[in-house]
Structure 1
């Protein structure tokens, strides 16, 4: 047996999300949506916004993608992000939730109110992984305004 990471990042591959209708009887009609430059090892919540045919996914996106699993000289960034999957166009967008550059801290190992999973949530509670991989505190993040309270 040869050692090494169980996860291998391939730069020529595209990240994508599979969306299956909640009333589907099987996986035949799964819709795949490409999400360029996205590696989210942890997802915190997702909900539907039927008024604009989108699914909103909240997750911590890591760059470089395989730095958690392999030796890497680049500094790891884990940015809390909003990913929007448009079911009508098949396109996606991704943006950092915190809009202030000073607030771009590594946010990982979090949660939302478990009674709101699958529904729009206002807050997420995450560990501040600074310096990576140590946890130096916790943050309450307003998912609408991007405000981070440490």
Structure 2
């Protein structure tokens, strides 16, 4: 091989390496942009969903505070009954802890039942109001 041939081969290799680098950089940039756009859309979707959930919760809490309180109490009682007692709780409460756990379970059952009754009452009332609105709308067309 000659010096000119070596230089030509070196130039070809550099050119190919540069082309490969540019192509890899372009693919990486495209992949980054696509991932960034997907992440942005996922964030926006999650933010919108949380916003709707917050609005729904706020409206239902203000419309049905008793059901919200009963639901919160039931959830707290269930968590207290399900989570294991710590060593400190067992030492401090002794046998009373079992009684409290049993009482919490019973309270959770009662609160759940009361919440279900409250929801049934609200549901029945809503169905009656919608039914009456339909009857009134049909009657006004005649």
Relative to its length, the structure with more strand (as a share) is 1
Range of TM-score over shorter length: under 0.3
Q: Which has the bigger relative contact order, CA under 8 A and spacing at least 6?
A: 2
What is the TM-score when the length of structure 1 is the normalising length?
Answer: 0.19
Relative to its length, the structure with more helix (as a share) is 2
What is the TM-score when the length of structure 2 is the normalising length?
Answer: 0.20
Bigger radius of gyration:
2
